[in-house]
């Protein structure tokens, strides 16, 4: 392992200590492994609660902030948080307007969030769930609901958070977030494995010079393995699959997120974006907004993913609304 850690066991808790020491003005912890916006609860505002495994920063914790989520339940590396944590998070940010549970579609997480939702209901706390399920590599279009959630959820936080900040009801926040999710597709490529600290060994083998197309952000197998292709070929392949999956029509507008999985330099992500932009132009799809950087990582995995969200007028303005989180804004 090439890791700056202490005991693997205490990795997540030490990380959280560091986060709280670094950002006391933005984040606080009302319960073990739960972080909330320092100004929570906000009376009358729909609360957005998220959570998931560690090892994906800035996902999930980084999306807690103004115009984004209100609370996060933090799991162990690549493992769901507990229902108890989700319930604590819900209690801590409840502003009387209900809560949106927004997280990625993984069975450990859905079981724990569902259980938390039942427990919250017993306490009179209303919740509705919207899942990130954007990875087209994880199931065919007909079974889109089975798909796992990857980096595209970053855009969902932005949409839901902005809508909630505007004073919308839970129903309205859910409606627009579901609409955004329905037009959201992602797919990635891995160039190296990653190592869960407590496991001590890479989750899978991926020799130098090979790549795995469609790999999940926890190292779940992808749809094809083969020799490493050029950025132009990889970018075109990913973009074409995403365009075909929705599918897009000429004249559609789109927001693009090119995400690094951890070890891939941001320079390479821009090279990849260049090709994605060209392929979209070929298909008559106009890029209205683009983000390039690390939005959802897989520890130190090398590789990248591309996410496309089809835009309507409300979605673009929500994506462009102000937001602020200490882990996303470097300054």
Partner 1 sequence: MPATALPHALGAAAQALAASAPELNRLDGFAGDGDLGVTMTVVAEVAQEVLAREEADGTRLLSSLGAAIARRAPSTSGTLLATACLRASQALRDDQGAPVEVMLHCFSAALEGVMARGKAEPGDRTLVDGLNAICGSLERSVADGTSWPLALLEAAGAAQAMAEATSNMEPRKGRASWVPQRALGHPDAGCSMLAIGLQAAAQACQPLP
* 145 forms part of the interface with ligand ADP (CB under 6 A): no
Q: Is 176 in contact with 315 (CB distance < 8 Å)? A: yes
Phi, psi of 192 (to 5 degrees): -155, 160
Q: Which three-class secondary structure state does DSSP give residue 231?
A: helix
Q: Does 119 bind a copy of itself (CB under 8 A)?
A: no
Among the listed residues 49, 151, 295, 315, the single contact to a copy of itself using CB under 8 A: 295
Spatial CA neighbour of 67 closest among 291, 324, 326: 324
Q: Does 30 bind ligand ADP (CB under 6 A)?
A: no
Q: Which of residues 86-115 bind ligand ADP (CB under 6 A)?
A: 107-108
**Interior/surface letters 101-113, b for 16+ CB within 10 angstroms, e for the rest:** bbbbbbeebbebb
Instruction: Find out whether 170 and 126 touch, Cβ atoms under 8 Å.
Output: yes
DSSP state of 151: T
Provide the minimum distance between the beta carbon of 79 and Mg ion in the complex, in angstroms, as a whole number: 5
- Please choose which of partner 1, a copy of itself, ligand ADP, none residue 244 contacts, taking the beta carbon within 5 to 8 angstroms, the exact cut-off set by kind: none
Q: How far is the CB of 244 from partner 1 (least distance, A)?
A: 19
Q: Sign of torsion, CA 265 271 275 277?
A: positive
First-to-last C-alpha distance (Å) of the chain: 31
Closest residue by Cα to residue 33 from 89, 78, 77, 79: 89
CB of 108 to partner 1, least distance (A): 4
Q: How far apart are CA 242 and CA 277, in angstroms?
A: 13
Contact stretch for a copy of itself (CB under 8 A) within 17-25, 142-150, 180-188, 307-315: 17-25
Q: Does the protein bind a copy of itself through residue 265 (CB under 8 A)? A: yes
Q: Which of 148, 158, 163, 185 binds partner 1 (CB under 8 A)?
A: 148
Q: What angle do CA 207, 257, 63 make, to 5 degrees?
A: 100
Taking CB under 5 A as the binding criterion, the range among 27-35, 58-66, 78-86, 312-320 that sits at the site for Mg ion is 78-86
Give the integer Cα–Cα distance in Å for 301 and 189. 10
- Work out which of 5, 22, 182, 223 binds partner 1, going by CB under 8 A: 223
- Name the one range near a copy of itself by CB under 8 A: 40-48, 91-99, 179-187, 293-301: 293-301
Is 221 a binding residue for ligand ADP by CB under 6 A? The answer is no
Q: Which of 15, 38, 198, 228 is the binder for partner 1 (CB under 8 A)?
A: 198
Nearest-angstrom CA–CA distance, 331 and 327: 10
Residue nearest to ligand ADP (CB): 108
To the query of whether residue 23 is one of the catalytic residues in this protein, the response is no
The sheet that has 71-77: what strands, in order across it? 27-31, 34-37, 71-77, 47-54, 99-104, 127-132
Residue 267 interacts with a copy of itself (CB under 8 A): yes or no: yes
56 catalytic, yes or no?
Answer: yes
Q: How many CB atoms lie within 10 A of CB 319?
A: 19
Residues that bind ligand ADP in the complex, under the rule CB under 6 A: 107-108
Residues designated as active site: 56, 218
Binding site for a copy of itself (CB under 8 A): 1-6, 11-12, 14-19, 21-23, 54-55, 57-58, 67-68, 158, 189, 191-192, 208-209, 228, 230-232, 234, 262-274, 277, 287, 290-295, 297, 299-300, 302-304, 323-325, 327-331
Q: Which residues bind partner 1 (CB under 8 A)?
A: 75-84, 106-108, 111-112, 115, 135, 137-139, 146-148, 196, 198-199, 201, 203-204, 214, 216, 218-223
């Amino acid at each position: 392992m090439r890791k700056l850690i202490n005991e693997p066991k205490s990795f997540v808790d030490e990380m959280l200590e560091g986060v709280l020491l670094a950002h006391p003005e933005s984040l606080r912890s009302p319960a073990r492994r739960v972080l909330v916006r320092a100004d929570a609860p906000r009376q009358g505002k729909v609360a957005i609660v998220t959570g998931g495994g560690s090892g994906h920063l800035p996902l999930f914790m980084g999306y807690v902030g103004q115009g984004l989520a209100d609370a996060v339940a933090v799991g162990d590396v690549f493992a769901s948080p507990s229902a108890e944590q989700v319930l604590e998070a819900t209690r801590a940010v409840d502003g009387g307007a209900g809560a949106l549970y927004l997280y990625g579609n993984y069975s450990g997480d859905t079981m724990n969030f569902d259980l938390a939702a039942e427990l919250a209901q017993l306490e009179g706390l209303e919740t509705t769930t919207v899942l990130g399920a954007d990875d087209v590599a994880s199931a065919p279009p007909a079974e889109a609901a089975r798909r796992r959630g990857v980096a595209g959820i970053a855009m969902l936080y932005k949409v839901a958070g902005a809508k909630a900040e505007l004073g919308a009801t839970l129903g309205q926040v859910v409606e627009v977030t579901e609409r955004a999710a329905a037009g959201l597709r992602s797919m990635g490529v891995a160039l190296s494995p990653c190592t869960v600290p407590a496991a001590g060994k890479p989750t899978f083998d991926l020799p130098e010079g090979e790549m795995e197309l469609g790999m999940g952000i926890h190292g779940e197998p992808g749809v094809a393995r083969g020799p490493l292709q050029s950025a132009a070929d990889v970018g075109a392949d990913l973009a074409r699959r995403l365009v075909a999956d929705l599918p897009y029509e000429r004249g559609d507008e789109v927001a693009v997120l090119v995400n690094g999985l951890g070890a891939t330099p941001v320079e390479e992500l821009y090279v990849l974006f260049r090709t994605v932009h060209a392929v979209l132009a070929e298909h008559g799809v106009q890029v209205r907004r683009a983000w390039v950087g690390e939005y959802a990582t897989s520890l130190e995995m090398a590789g990248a993913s591309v996410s496309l969200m089809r835009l309507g007028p409300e979605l673009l303005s929500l994506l462009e609304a102000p937001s602020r989180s200490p882990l996303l804004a470097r300054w």
